[in-house]
Structure 1
Amino acid sequence: MSGRVGDLSLKQGDALAQFRVRIQDILPDLPAEHDHYLLRWLRARSFNVAKAEAMIRKHIDFRRKMKVDTIISDWTPPKVIQKYVSGGMCGYDKEGSPIWYDVIGPLDPKGLLMSASKQDFMRTKIRNIEILQRECRRQSSKLNKNVESITMVYDCEGLGLKHMWKPAIETYGEILTMFEENYPEGLKKVFLIKAPILFPMAYNLIKHFLCEETRRKLAVLGGNWQEVLRKHVDAEQLPVAYGGTRTDPDGDPRCRTMINYGGTVPRSYYVRDSIQVRYDASVTISRGAVLQLDYDVGAPCSLLRWQFSSDGADIGFGVYKRTAEGGEQKMAAMLEVVPCERYNAHLVPEDNAVTCPEPGVYVLCFDNSYSIIQSKTVSYTVEVLPPAGEVLMLPDRAVGRIPV
């Protein structure tokens, strides 16, 4: 049995009933609670109810932290991403699924990562996925059938060594992992076209981020790729540039109003070149170590702001609140305020803030525990802004490096 609505075995049907009961408390927080949606999580975990429950509860936490429910209306990607990240949605396949085109050749990974943070790229990808998910729901209503996944056309023409730059591969890997963990069964088929001789090397760098089910959905097409695409997409839905008859209203065969073709990022966008920050302190964090910096926040709704950059490589960073007085606490024992992530602060300096809802000791953690070879030098400035707006600079107390 396929594990889809109308094609469930008795065991799969029982698993669905159990799953619905076990997640009753979070159903109102889900973007869709019908059986089609719930079965996606069960199929992703081979109908192991406990594992599917853990996966979907983690997703709810992800939606809250990333403000996914409002990301389309409340957040706009930086201008450099809008202009130079290639790709876009254009048309529907023969079953009504939206088609997304990724155009690799014109992409300038280094220029983009020198001009915007890795976190902005992650948010952009989440926003794009949510737009596609919304489009699937619209198609479901319009066609009166379930449309829950997208078709991708991956145009590999021009793929070269510049696309295999290590920070770019790492960022793309994190995006793939995010997609796998939070949008199960979101892909119907991926068509890779115009793959150059370097493609196997590039694929080997990212394939371990993909689950086996996703790998099975990849189809590397040969010289007859236009013919194959037309078997899955009606000609009027396929741009002329990809073997169909669709054009923009002005006759553009590439449909540039829907598909962005990117390009080389001008150096004027490079953040490190254009922003000079004078930091208050600098510290070297040993390989395999974590540095904790304590800040006393005396008034509720104070703003804790930080700026930092690293030398040579990325650095982990998160914000926590102490739950016990005195002594050291490891990150796992504290209340998470800003999840620890790896920041490409050696490329783009980080500048952000968080509102502290209640007073207490807030801890900025610079995490180098994942590095077994390289120490990192981090330059930083931190300030606490009380609700009244008066700037209060507090000395930090580095409680030390906690070996891992």
Structure 2
Amino acid sequence: MSGRIGDLSPKQAEILAEFRERIQDILPSLPAQHDHYLLRWLRARSFNVHKAESMIRKHVVFREQMKVDTILSDWKPPEVIEKYVSGGMCGYDREGSPVWYDVIGPLDPKGLLMSATKQDFLKTKIQNTEMLRQECQKQSEKLGKYIESITLIYDCEGLGLKHIWKPAIETYGEILTMFEDNYPEGLKRVFLIKAPKMFPVAYNLIKHFLCEETRRKIIVLGSNWQEVLREHIDPDQLPVVYGGTLTDPDGDPHCRTMINFGGTVPKSYYVQDSVKVQYNKSVTISRGSVIQLEYDVPAASSLLRWQFASDGADIGFGVYKRTKEGSQQKIAEMQQVLPSERYNAHLVPEDSCLTCPEPGVYVLCFDNSYSILQSKKVRYKVEVIPPADVLMQYPRSSGDGRLQ
């Protein structure tokens, strides 16, 4: 049995009912509550109800932390991402699913990662994925059948050494992990076209980020790739450059109004060249170690701002709040305020802030526990800005996020 509506075994139907009952408390926080949606999480965990419950509960936390419910309306990617990250949605396959194109060759990974933070790229991909999720909903209503996944066309022409630069692979890996953990069963199939000889090298670097089910959906096409695409996508839904008849209104065969083809990022976008911060402190975090920096926030609605840059490699960073006074407290025992993530602060200095909802001792944690060989030097500056001064210093800041 496929584990889909209309094709459930009695045991699978029983597990679905149990799953729904176990997550009653978080159902209102999910983007959908119908059985089609819940079954995606169960299929992703082979109908192990405990694993599926753990996965979907983590997703609810993810949606809250990343402000996913409002990311389409409230977040705008940096200009460099909008201009130079290639790809886009264009048309629908024969079953009505949206088709997304990732165009690898024109991508300038180093230029992009020197010009925007890794977190900016993650948010952009979340925004894209939420747009596609909503597009699937619209198609479901339009066609009168459930559309839950997309067709992805991966144009590998021009794939080269610049695309397997280590920071780029690490960032792409985090994006893939985010997608696998939070949008299960979102891919119907992946068509890889125009793959060069070095494709196996690149694929081996990222395949461990993909679950086995996703790997099975990847189809590497040969010289007849246009013919195969037309078998799955009507010609009037397929751009001319990919073997169809679809063009932009001005006749552009690449459909550039829908698919961005990127390009080399001008160095004028590079943040390292434009940001000059006077860091007043520095610290070296030994390999496998964590450093905690404590800051007393005397009043609610104060702004906690941090700026930091690392030398030579990325660094983990998160913000926590102590829940006990006086005695020492482990990070695991503290209240998480900002989840720990790895920042490419050696490429793009970090400059962010948050509004402290209540007074107390806030702990900034620089995490190098994942590095078994390399210590990291971090230069940083931290400010606690009283509520009365926030509006004067940052009149256009929401007090939560990256400062421009």
Deviations 1:62-109 (A, max 9, x none): 000000000000000000000000000000000000000000000000
TM-score w.r.t. the length of structure 2 is 0.96
CA distance in 2, matches of 1:40, 1:155: 27
CA distance in 2, matches of 1:285, 1:56: 34
Q: What is the match of residue 395 of structure 1?
A: none
Tell me the matched-pair count: 391
Q: Does 1:268 align with 2:276?
A: no
CA distance in 1, matches of 2:162, 2:330: 39
Matched AA of 1:281: K
Q: How does 1:253-264 map to 2 (within 5 A)?
A: 253-264=253-264
Q: What is the match of residue 220 of structure 2?
A: 220
Matched AA of 1:112: L
**Which secondary structure state, in structure 2, belongs to the residue aligned with residue 277 of structure 1?**
coil
CA distance in 2, matches of 1:340, 1:204: 27
CA distance in 2, matches of 1:291, 1:44: 37
Matched AA of 1:196: P
Q: Percent identity of the aligned residues?
A: 77
Q: What is the match of residue 36 of structure 1?
A: 36
Deviations 1:182-212 (A, max 9, x none): 0000000000000000000000000000000
Q: What is the match of residue 125 of structure 1?
A: 125
CA distance in 1, matches of 2:51, 2:112: 37
Deviations 1:189-248 (A, max 9, x none): 000000000000000000000000000000000000000000000000000000000000
Q: What is the match of residue 399 of structure 2?
A: none
Matched AA of 1:229: L
Q: Which runs of 4+ in 1 moved over 6 A?
A: none
Matched AA of 1:88: G
Q: What is the match of residue 334 of structure 1?
A: 334
Q: What is the match of residue 157 of structure 1?
A: 157
Matched AA of 1:36: H
CA distance in 2, matches of 1:238, 1:133: 20
* CA apart distance, 1:301: 1.0
Matched AA of 2:226: Q
Q: What is the match of residue 23 of structure 1?
A: 23
CA distance in 1, matches of 2:107, 2:283: 35
* CA apart distance, 1:329: 2.0
Matched AA of 1:374: Q
CA distance in 2, matches of 1:357, 1:158: 49
**Which secondary structure state, in structure 2, belongs to the residue aligned with residue 248 of structure 1?**
coil
CA distance in 2, matches of 1:95, 1:179: 23
Matched AA of 2:42: L
* CA apart distance, 1:330: 2.0
Q: How does 1:201-216 map to 2 (within 5 A)?
A: 201-216=201-216
CA distance in 2, matches of 1:38, 1:68: 18
Matched AA of 1:345: A
CA distance in 2, matches of 1:260, 1:373: 39
* CA apart distance, 1:331: 1.3
Q: How does 1:318-357 map to 2 (within 5 A)?
A: 318-357=318-357
Matched AA of 1:291: I
* CA apart distance, 1:131: 0.2
CA distance in 2, matches of 1:334, 1:97: 44
CA distance in 2, matches of 1:30, 1:368: 34
CA distance in 2, matches of 1:349, 1:40: 38
Q: What is the match of residue 167 of structure 1?
A: 167
**Which secondary structure state, in structure 1, belongs to the residue aligned with residue 96 of structure 2?**
coil
**Which secondary structure state, in structure 1, belongs to the residue aligned with residue 151 of structure 2?**
strand
Q: Does 1:287 align with 2:280?
A: no
CA distance in 2, matches of 1:139, 1:108: 33
* CA apart distance, 1:390: 6.8
CA distance in 2, matches of 1:139, 1:67: 25
Q: How does 1:78-97 map to 2 (within 5 A)?
A: 78-97=78-97
Matched AA of 1:183: Y
* CA apart distance, 1:268: 0.2
Matched AA of 2:179: F
CA distance in 1, matches of 2:381, 2:154: 42
Q: What is the match of residue 243 of structure 1?
A: 243
Q: Does 1:104 align with 2:104?
A: yes
CA distance in 1, matches of 2:228, 2:221: 8
CA distance in 2, matches of 1:128, 1:8: 31
**Which secondary structure state, in structure 2, belongs to the residue aligned with residue 364 of structure 1?**
strand
Deviations 1:34-59 (A, max 9, x none): 11000000000111111111110000
CA distance in 2, matches of 1:168, 1:45: 29
Matched AA of 2:156: C
CA-based RMSD: 0.8
* CA apart distance, 1:327: 3.6
* CA apart distance, 1:283: 1.1
**Uncovered stretches (5+) of structure 1, i.e. residues with no partner:** 392-404
CA distance in 2, matches of 1:21, 1:78: 42
**Which secondary structure state, in structure 1, belongs to the residue aligned with residue 25 of structure 2?**
helix
* CA apart distance, 1:167: 0.2
Deviations 1:233-273 (A, max 9, x none): 00000000000000000000000000000000000000001
* CA apart distance, 1:326: 2.2
CA distance in 2, matches of 1:291, 1:151: 44
